[in-house]
Amino acid sequence: MQKKTDKILEKIVKKNYNNELEEVLEKKLFDENTKSNLLSILYKIEAAYKDYEKVKQDVETKEEFIEQLIKNIKNNCETIKLVRPNSEESKIMGNKTFLVEKKLKKIICYPIERKILYCVAKISKNEKIIKDKYFLINKTLSDLINVGNNINTVEPLRDFNGYSWTTISSEIESVSHNLIYQNLRILLGHKLLNNWVTNDEYIIDYMELFQNKLEDLYGKENKDALVENLKIISILLDIKYDSKIKKKMLETKEKVENELDYIKDNKEFIQNVTDKKMEITKQIKQIDETINNKELLQKEYVNRNQRLALEEKIFSIRILAKMLEQEREEYIEKIEKLNELLKPKNFVKYKKELKEKYKYLKLVETKDIQKEIRKLIIKIQKEFLKCYKIKLEKAKTRHELLKIVYEFRYYNLLPFDYEKSIYQVKELEKDVQEIQKEIILKAHEIKLIEKMSKKEDIDYIIIKNLFTLRTISLEELYIKITKEKDKFFIQIFDENAYEEKIEIENMGNINKKDMEIKLNRKIKLINN
């Protein structure tokens, strides 16, 4: 009776969200094909979200996800135009599959649902979610987190269909962005990242919150190593995918190089700063004379307007006077900064900041970017796994450990590149196995997972398969060990239906006394 009531309630909720989106779409000038695609996206997400939530564990609720989706369509999408590949209309996109113009709230996209959903997520974000004081990474790390979140938003539609979980790496916009974003989500939780990308209050320093939480949970040393590698890879990924930032970095690098040369000689530096101050003082004096002399003010008004385009013209002398006062304040601030710079302590700090900037700007000279990105991703995964060990140690209850089992299974199956998943990467094999063994031992202690053999190595060989299965619900898994001639096999059953048969390698001549379970007997792998 309860199940029947739940199904009725589910239908009511589904109908309400469908109606809510239809009401939003009624006020939009989208064509019927676009509206149909958006309603289809909503329907498929509703159907798949339960499985998505089960597999990933730490995600926002279905209600939160759908409400955010509808809000994004309502507030940030004025135009969504779907165009066919190779059509005349598609030429505007070049070799891309979509085009997003945030200022115009306009999306042009192929009629592919996961691409449409990606565009809706992309158009709804601020370009920079990190304060300007974080040199360079205010752009690059913002990009890394924003793109990762966009890909994450598409996942329930892309990988789940209501009865199975399949990940096709080629359908992911960037496996590197996705992997790093999932690392951070697993370590810090979805709430921090979701709040970060949807934050409208620029006063909040999320970069500081992010670092503080990493340090609180995993220690200063792990935090420093992970953040440093994140900074570097965010820069390399932007250089790889964004030619504009590469050009800008080269220009900035040249300026910083000149500045570093300029401050090498302390005497020359002091003289140059003094000369700058004198020049600025002259500018201030000139502004004062202009403001206090009607003829000079009128002359300045005419001169400026002659140089300006029509839409930039100054409308009155009173407005010009205010502009000059503002310019005067800016010059005074510059003098104050130069005075501060002349103090020995501040000079040392300034020099250190320049060297720090140059360290990151030099990355633009990286010869084989793809090779460096791969090396860095391996480094980040090793740092992630160090932190995850700490997270595992803190897991005490059955609920916490079951979540760890699901979470680490999900991590194992994340695409590392377009050919391999994490568990298939040789450089990570040892670290991954160590954590899997520790999870299994802890699960045995609290009787969450059945023990297969008295020998730890044999037990691990059998149970490790748990971390590479794409069954939605692990609690519904049954296992059976069989022997055929001299070979041993694991048979996996999902809700008593045959799922998979795996040969158990390196079993040798096992004595039946070493086994905790009988051969050819089906048992439940995880105890509820």
Per-residue b or e along 82-91, where b marks 16 or more CB atoms closer than 10 Å to that residue's CB: bbeeeeeebe
Mean predicted confidence (pLDDT) in 390-408:
96
Whether pLDDT at 268 is above 90: no
Q: How confident is the model at residue 78 (pLDDT cuts 50, 70, 90)?
A: very high
3-state secondary structure 322-379: HHHHHHHHHHHHHHHHHHHHCCHHHHHHHHHHHHHHHHHHHHHHCCCHHHHHHHHHHH
- How large is the greatest C-alpha to C-alpha distance in the chain, in angstroms? 107
The predicted pLDDT at position 5 comes to 52
pTM assigned to the model: 0.84
The predicted pLDDT at position 510 comes to 64
Strands (DSSP E) along 186-326, which ranges? none
What 3-state DSSP class applies to 146? helix
What is 366-425 written as a DSSP string? -S-HHHHHHHHHHHHHHHHHHHHHHHHHH--SHHHHHHHHHHHHHHHTSBSSSS-BGGG-
d(C-alpha 476, C-alpha 494), whole Å = 6
Q: How confident is the model at residue 315 (pLDDT cuts 50, 70, 90)?
A: confident
| 179, 414 contact by CB (below 8 A) | yes
d(C-alpha 431, C-alpha 186), whole Å = 17
Q: How confident is the model at residue 509 (pLDDT cuts 50, 70, 90)?
A: low
The predicted pLDDT at position 403 comes to 96
Mean predicted confidence (pLDDT) in 462-473:
91
Is the model more confident about 480 or about 191?
A: 191
Element (H, E) at 148: helix 137-159
Give the closest residue to 291 by CA, choosing from 283, 313, 281: 283
Whether pLDDT at 227 is above 90: yes
Q: How confident is the model at residue 178 (pLDDT cuts 50, 70, 90)?
A: very high
d(C-alpha 436, C-alpha 155), whole Å = 25
